[in-house]
Amino acid sequence: MTRNERTLPIPDGVDFLRSLRDANAQCERQTDDYLDRERRNGSITTHEDLGTLVSLLDRAGSCFWGCHGGDHSPEHLVMRCCTYAISSFWLACSGAYDESVALARIVGEITNVATLFTLKPGTLTEWATADERTRREKYCPVNVRRSLEAEQFPAPVGRENYALLSVKGIHLTPGMPPGMYNADRQPKLYQFQDLGLLFCLAEISFPLSILGLCTIVEPNPLMNLDAAPRQRIADAAKKLRRSLPELWRRVNDVFPTYPDRVADPWPDLP
């Protein structure tokens, strides 16, 4: 029996699971308070901008503005990315930062392949109609990044950033404790950590902002939308992208993480 077990009432069974849920709820309250303060101060608006873009992309993916037929492969792709992004955000709000990063990596994978679809006409149709083996081999994350490199186009989530997300959220790595998002380099589980929140929020929002542009960028947009929703998505995606430098700066002050973050690939959108 450890010293803490002798001095603290540590529950078992269902009571232990409930205690974790209570810890998550407390972290969510602290997260809300922190984001509200930052928004009122005009420092961080990323979460608000993220909500706007996801709302618009959800409408685009569900044919809210009209159905244009087809097999709905692009709509399903966008909706899948939105659900991963929001689930990742919820995990970050509850203090499960590593788990949030794991889903953020999937958001990046989907955005990379969406970027390829907009760059190379015909690849979306090929992806949608290929057999499972071909799709797995040709459109796996590493081959999608190589295809983007062959087009001399920077992947929204490049090799170094993808490796960082893998180490933090997926792979079991010596020297990388779980839940370590603090200057003390101490693992903290189910506790609010502002660096963890900002890191996750940036890793969700950057690729999603690029996905938003993929849905509308000419000459080969993922979706066939009318002018009004196209403009709203363009404005929301660019606004979300512009909110990120403050997050990157704060994280970099403690963890130098973003030395080669790519610039906006589509600077000339209307």
CA–CA distance, 172 with 150 (Å, rounded to integer) = 31
Going from N- to C-terminal start, the domains of the chain cover 71-270
Q: What is the pLDDT of residues 98-140, one digit of tens each?
A: 999 999 999 999 999 999 999 999 999 999 999 999 999 999 9
pLDDT at 189 (0 to 100): 85
Specify whether the CB–CB gap between 105 and 166 falls below 8 A: yes
Specify whether the CB–CB gap between 204 and 222 falls below 8 A: no
Q: Could you give the count of Cα atoms lying within 13 Å of 11 in the half-sphere of its Cβ?
A: 10
Closest C-alpha to 115, from 59, 73, 153:
153
pLDDT at 176 (0 to 100): 74
pLDDT at 7 (0 to 100): 66
pLDDT at 2 (0 to 100): 46
Specify whether the CB–CB gap between 192 and 34 falls below 8 A: yes
- 172 has pLDDT over 80: no
CA–CA distance, 127 with 134 (Å, rounded to integer) = 9
How close are the terminal C-alpha atoms of the chain, in Å?
A: 65
Reading phi first (left if > 0) and then psi (alpha if -120 to 50, else beta), residue 154 is in beta
pTM of this prediction? 0.90
Q: What is the pLDDT of residues 194-208, one digit of tens each?
A: 999 999 999 999 999
CA–CA distance, 156 with 51 (Å, rounded to integer) = 20
Average pLDDT for 40-56: 95
Burial 42-69 (b: 16+ CB within 10 A, else e): eebbbbebbebbbebbeebbeeebeeee
pLDDT at 263 (0 to 100): 53
pLDDT at 265 (0 to 100): 57
Which residue reads 């609010």 in tokens? 192
What percentage of the chain reaches a pLDDT higher than 70?
Answer: 91
Closest C-alpha to 23, from 10, 38, 41:
10
